[in-house]
Amino acid sequence: MKLYYIPGACSLASHIVLHETDASFAIEKVDSATHKTETGADFFQIHRKGYVPALQLKDGEVLTEGVAILQYLADSSARNDLSPPQGSIERARLQSELNFVSAELHKAFSPLFKKDSTEDEKTAARKKVALRLNDVETVLSDGRAFFLGKDFSIADAYLFTISNWTNVTGLGLGERPNLIAYMGRMAERPSVRAAMQAEGLIEAAA
């Protein structure tokens, strides 16, 4: 498999899960400005929508959209703890939280990354992000270790990735002790460190 990624973008979630499952895979960086990959390929020829993540499977088929990739990786791995069984209420809760991160938290950040966003749009985005982070803080306030409870799931890879954007946007995590503690735990997870090191987001341990 090959993951097409932009360092620190939402594709980081798929990268984390690839490491989490000990999958055999390669990565190829995409330039968001030119839509060229690091080998010189036209990314639009790989993924017609032109954004990451895109996962090229062994048979050459390309899977797109982060939530779909995360679910595929969980379901096709030997791990049975990354996603609950199909048809279970736990599976429905996972899908609920994946959709929350995608449709609410992820999209709330969008104006902060667009060069043509007005200051009013950025101000509104910061307020929306704050509200959604407050939602996460409330979920974590019961002392759970991970987003869905006591076990790491694919939703954690996605939540960590998007919440980490508070660093690059300068928003910070604010007065949210449970989220701060959660992000600290996640940052030390081997799969998270491996993915972030590979993307040049943190330095490798000496």
Q: Classify residue 48: in a domain, yes or no.
A: yes
Q: Classify residue 203: in a domain, yes or no.
A: no
CA distances from 40 to 4, 27, 57, 97, 197 (A): 13, 14, 20, 36, 23
| 71 and 98 share one domain | no
**Exposed, middle or buried, 170 (CB in 10 Å: 0-12/13-18/19+)?**
exposed
| 97 and 176 share one domain | yes
Q: Classify the C-alpha dihedral 74-79-82-85 as positive or negative.
A: positive
| 46 and 125 share one domain | no
User: What pLDDT is attached to residue 85?
Assistant: 95
User: What pLDDT is attached to residue 204?
Assistant: 77
Nearest-5° Cα angle at 16, 14 to 17: 65
pTM, whole model, 2 decimals?
Answer: 0.97
Question: Taking the chain, what is the end-to-end CA distance rounded to the nearest angstrom?
Answer: 29
Q: pLDDT tens digits, residue range 80-96? A: 999 999 999 999 999 99
User: What pLDDT is attached to residue 205?
Assistant: 67
Domain that holds residue 27: 2-81+192-198
Positions in the chain short of pLDDT 50: none
User: What pLDDT is attached to residue 206?
Assistant: 55
| 75 and 95 share one domain | no
| 99 and 57 share one domain | no
* Strand 54-56 to 62-64 pairing: antiparallel
Q: Classify residue 204: in a domain, yes or no.
A: no
| 40 and 124 share one domain | no
| 138 and 183 share one domain | yes
Q: Into how many domains does the chain fold?
A: 2
Q: pLDDT tens digits, residue range 4-13? A: 999 999 999 9
Average pLDDT score over the chain: 97
